[in-house]
Structure 1
Amino acid sequence: MACALKATFTRYKPHLSMIQTQVGAAIVYFLTEAAFNQGLNPYVYVTYRLLIGGLIMIPFAYFLEKKSRPKLTLALFLELVFLSFLGGGLTYNLFFLSLKFTSPAFVSSVFNTVPSLTFVMAILLRMEIVNVKSPRGRAKILGTLISLAGVMVITFYKGPALKSLWEAPIHMKRQHSVHEKRVLGPILSVSSCLVVSSYFIMQAHTLKKYPAQLSLSAWINCIGGVQSAVFAVSLQHKPAAWSIRMFDISFWAILYCGISTALATFFMVWCVKVKGPVFAAMFSPLQTITVVVSAYFLLGEKLYTGSILGAVSVIIGLYVLLWGKERDQSYSNSQHQSSLPSDETIAADKTEEANLAEKEEP
């Protein structure tokens, strides 16, 4: 019984890791929104968040991977700098800049295109093989299309709102100073999604050269934090913007989000190494679903039928794609096992070698 439970946990550990990552990201959304409403600068927040995440990862990376960490060459370091730029400063700052010109609901919905974009990029770069003649390949394509259709429903269709069943236990004051721009906002949102997809793809490439997952997570956060600090200073010259009061909402938001960033980066790096970039990206829609459901039950926000229909489609598409990938991996493993010599073949080869050696003896 214990062995069966251990085997089941090992098999679904990547799934649980990504679910935990997206749920943690949903909590980050509410803490961040509350901190921004109290005056926290978004670019300062991104800098502190990445630097704290990096500082948390450094001791684990140093002691646990001291002997297994590859040698860091100049070319590899420059690649890490570019990877950190994609996954750290550029991604987060584009996200919050697009949030300034649109709305949280729009940005979080558009962000769900990341799995589909990553899947298409992986196919173009031959990192993901799709055999349309096999059920596995058709499942991956169908799952991507269903998930993308669900994202489109969430983004463009509201439908009637559901009636609240009870009074919200948490009340959050919101600022209504969002300056919507029909062209610039969506362009920035789509750009952030393209950057995240590129980050997943490049991460898989870098892991082949630098397989130390903890060290890579520490590098991404630290270098991304420094890059974000340079960007933030160029936009925010007032020293008061960098001052954080102890134990207020901004302090707790930065602390929690820094810890969440460290864990999320490590889990994503590990899942990309074990399952590939498409697998890690496919769990991104769960963040929006968690945010929408939590906002309805905890904050009393309106929940529209379009969001429900879209969420169901996203989950179905996610399940279908993961089914295809699991079957793909099982098929690859079986092919690899069949290509290996069997015990009988090895024994026969050894017997033949022994007979030849006896004949060659004088």
Structure 2
Amino acid sequence: MAGDRRYYCYKDVLPFAAMVTMECFNVGLNTLYKAATLRGMSYHVFIVYSYAVAAFLLLPAPFFSNRSRVLPSVNFSIVSKIGLLGIIGCTSQIMGYTGIIYSSPTLASAISNLVPAFTFILAVTFRMETLSFSKKSTRAKCLGTIVSVTGAFVVTLYKGPKIIWNISSSPSGSMPVSLGSSQPNWALGGLFLTSEYILVPLWYIVQTQIMKEYPAELTVVFFYNLIVSILAAIVASFTEPDSSAWKIKPDIALASILCSGVLGSCLNNSVHTWALRLKGPLFVSMFKPLSIAIAVVMGVMFLGDDLYLGSVIGAAIISIGFYTVMWGKAKEDAIKAEVVNLESSSTPRSPLLQYYKDEDVERR
């Protein structure tokens, strides 16, 4: 009984808590990054330094991973996939920041809500998710994904009447910050952002495949961060020829780079990689719409933001869709566990009996 409880906590409770925590970190890191770029920090330089910090922190990982567990030998397939992962990650980062320059963070938030849908399509294409509409688990995952994406769009695009006012703020003491684009070109910006959020699910798929071949999260994330930092440095050498852009002052720019390197590129990528190995790409992608609801709650609680009706309605819709997908995943995991138990049983079972047993589990 105790062993089953520990397994449940490791398999279900811990990944959920870790992903929610990472999304809370991401909201804070994005706010810090925006404040730094408003003071003139180049996003090309930011990518190079933040990923370099993460690679430096994870430098001992390959040595400890080989000692702590028995791992398969590194072959050309693993190296090439990690290289592909780095190219995808670097390209998605550059396209995302470029898209924000040509459009706005609002459009970026709206398009990011499509990540679960893109991930689900790619996961089905690569046969990492089963698609059988006769099963409750499949119907729940499909419906939950659609509902969650819809709720995220409601939060992003619908404001509605204000229901909680920030009484502590005053117009004289506030500092208006424009999040709009200095070069409004929404079509081009939307193209860059759409490309980014197609590459993000592809990153999930490739990372999951790497974990199947080489299940050493920290080692893979170290090489990934190193590759992204090198590729970003090559790109930045052409886009940022001015040497003054590479000088980081000990202010909010340095704080943003260090926090992003430690909590983002290092910790966040490691947790995402671990969750991908444990739960799959769809589980990880479903926290993307949830991050919008987290941002609303944290903004009201810690930043004194106003709360609007659209945020409440959208957050409720996101929660319904999110937990619908989680229920479908739990149902699917229970069926797989039941099948494994039946296969490991010493009593031989006929295929027909196995079929009816699976159907009985599905109905429950």
The TM-score range, normalised by the shorter chain, is: 0.7 to 0.9
Q: Tell me, what secondary structure is at the counterpart of 1:183?
A: helix
1:157 is the counterpart of 2:163: no
Deviations 1:280-305 (A, max 9, x none): 11111222222233334444445433
1:224 is the counterpart of 2:225: no
> 2:282 corresponds to which residue?
278
> 1:82 corresponds to which residue?
84
- Distance in 1 separating the partners of 2:270 and 2:227: 15
- Equivalent AA in structure 2 for residue 315 of structure 1: S
Asked if the contact 1:110–1:189 (Cα under 8 Å) also holds between the matched residues in 2, the reply is: yes
Q: Tell me, what secondary structure is at the counterpart of 2:224?
A: helix
Aligned length: 342
> 2:262 corresponds to which residue?
259
- Equivalent AA in structure 1 for residue 86 of structure 2: S
1:72 is the counterpart of 2:74: yes
- Distance in 2 separating the partners of 1:52 and 1:204: 24
- Distance in 1 separating the partners of 2:140 and 2:54: 37
Q: Closer, same or farther in 2 for the Cα pair 1:40/1:77, shift >3 Å?
A: same
Q: Closer, same or farther in 2 for the Cα pair 1:327/1:295, shift >3 Å?
A: same
Question: What is the root-mean-square deviation in Å for CA atoms of aligned residues?
Answer: 2.3
Deviations 1:211-270 (A, max 9, x none): 211101111111011111111111110111111112x11111100110112111111111
> 1:9 corresponds to which residue?
9
Deviations 1:176-224 (A, max 9, x none): 6622212111111111110001111111112222221110111111101
1:337 is the counterpart of 2:341: yes
- Distance in 2 separating the partners of 1:32 and 1:222: 21
> 2:320 corresponds to which residue?
316
Q: Which moved more, 1:160-169 or 1:125-134?
A: 160-169
- Equivalent AA in structure 1 for residue 82 of structure 2: L
> 1:34 corresponds to which residue?
35
Deviation at 1:333, TM superposition (A): 0.7
Q: Which moved more, 1:68-77 or 1:271-280?
A: 68-77
> 1:55 corresponds to which residue?
56
- Distance in 2 separating the partners of 1:157 and 1:34: 25
Percent identity between the two aligned chains: 27
> 2:114 corresponds to which residue?
113
Deviation at 1:57, TM superposition (A): 1.5
Deviations 1:147-168 (A, max 9, x none): 1211232343332344514225
- Distance in 1 separating the partners of 2:305 and 2:342: 55
Asked if the contact 1:37–1:175 (Cα under 8 Å) also holds between the matched residues in 2, the reply is: no
Asked if the contact 2:35–2:252 (Cα under 8 Å) also holds between the matched residues in 1, the reply is: yes
> 1:249 corresponds to which residue?
252
- Equivalent AA in structure 2 for residue 140 of structure 1: K
Deviation at 1:173, TM superposition (A): 5.3
Q: Closer, same or farther in 2 for the Cα pair 1:329/1:5, shift >3 Å?
A: closer
- Structure 1 unaligned residues grouped into runs of 5+: 346-362
> 2:356 corresponds to which residue?
none
Q: Closer, same or farther in 2 for the Cα pair 1:130/1:173, shift >3 Å?
A: same
Question: Which protein has the larger Cα radius of gyration, Structure 1 or Structure 2?
Answer: 1
